[in-house]
């Protein structure tokens, strides 16, 4: 009996699928399948309503100092944007909740957070820029032209942690600590993702899971 060593996925759209003459209205499970869109597309990564996430490699310093910047065009007012954590409980979590952008951090001493409530609805079909800057115990959040920050406790024994970064969601919320309010995956487009001044290519990510379309976003 021969074995199949590799399987090449179909790239494109399928419609009116039938099995033995009967139409198949819905699937019981899907794996890395995104909806089909009619009309123009643009560069960016699309996270569909079915849920999914991208895992970046372990080049991110969660412990002491970093700057993350990216642009979003959400289709839902709530969802996980970025999540990173270390084995000893330190974490960074950036998410949207009812249109508000929230950053929560644990630096090994305790949790602290800051947020921005944009004057303009983020689900207005336009691109919005989000920047998170951390310098030791100070965390700053920029959403377009609105800025807020928080000063947390100093960690007397800070550690430089290099951890993977989850973008758009996490696997089954299993990585979210009880102190973090569970949030659904992000729905919409993300582009121009930059860590410490270095552009990040999602096409070279360590893992792409779920209904995520790399480098292709519907314009509407």
In this prediction, what percent of the chain has a pLDDT beyond 70?
79
Find the range with the poorest average confidence among 31-45, 86-100, 103-117, 136-150. 31-45
- pLDDT tens per residue, range 145-201: 999 999 988 887 777 777 888 999 988 766 676 667 667 899 999 999 999 999 999
Q: Is 64 left (phi over 0), alpha (psi -120 to 50) or beta?
A: alpha
Find the range with the poorest average confidence among 52-66, 70-84, 85-99, 115-129. 52-66
d(CA 67, CA 134): 6
- The owner of tokens 């959403």 is 143
User: Is 170:181 a contact under the CB 8 Å cutoff?
Assistant: no
User: Is 168:51 a contact under the CB 8 Å cutoff?
Assistant: no
- pLDDT tens per residue, range 18-36: 777 777 666 655 555 666 6
Which CATH fold topology does 18-218 show? Jelly Rolls (2.60.120)
Where along the chain do its domains lie?
Answer: 18-218
Find the range with the poorest average confidence among 136-145, 175-184, 200-209. 175-184
User: Is 143:101 a contact under the CB 8 Å cutoff?
Assistant: yes
């Amino acid at each position: 009996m021969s074995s199949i060593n590799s399987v090449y996925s179909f790239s494109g759209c399928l419609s009116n699928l039938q099995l033995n003459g009967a139409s198949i209205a819905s699937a019981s499970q899907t794996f890395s399948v995104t909806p089909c869109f009619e009309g123009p597309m643009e560069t960016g990564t699309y996270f569909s309503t079915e849920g999914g996430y991208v895992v970046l490699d372990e080049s991110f310093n969660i412990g002491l100092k970093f700057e993350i910047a990216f642009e979003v065009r959400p289709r839902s007012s709530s969802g996980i944007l970025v999540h990173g954590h270390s084995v000893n409980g330190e974490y960074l979590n950036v998410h949207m909740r009812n249109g508000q952008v929230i950053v929560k951090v644990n630096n090994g001493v305790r949790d602290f957070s800051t947020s921005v409530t944009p004057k303009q609805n983020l689900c207005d079909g336009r691109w919005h820029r989000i920047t998170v800057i951390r310098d030791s115990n100070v965390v700053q959040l920029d959403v377009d032209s609105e800025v807020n920050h928080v000063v947390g406790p100093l960690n007397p024994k800070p550690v430089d942690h290099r951890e993977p970064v989850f973008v758009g969601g996490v696997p089954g919320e299993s990585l979210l600590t009880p102190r973090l309010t569970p949030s659904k995956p992000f729905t919409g487009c993300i582009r121009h993702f930059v860590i410490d001044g270095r552009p990040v290519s999602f096409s070279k990510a360590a893992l792409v899971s779920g209904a995520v379309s790399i480098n292709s976003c519907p314009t509407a």
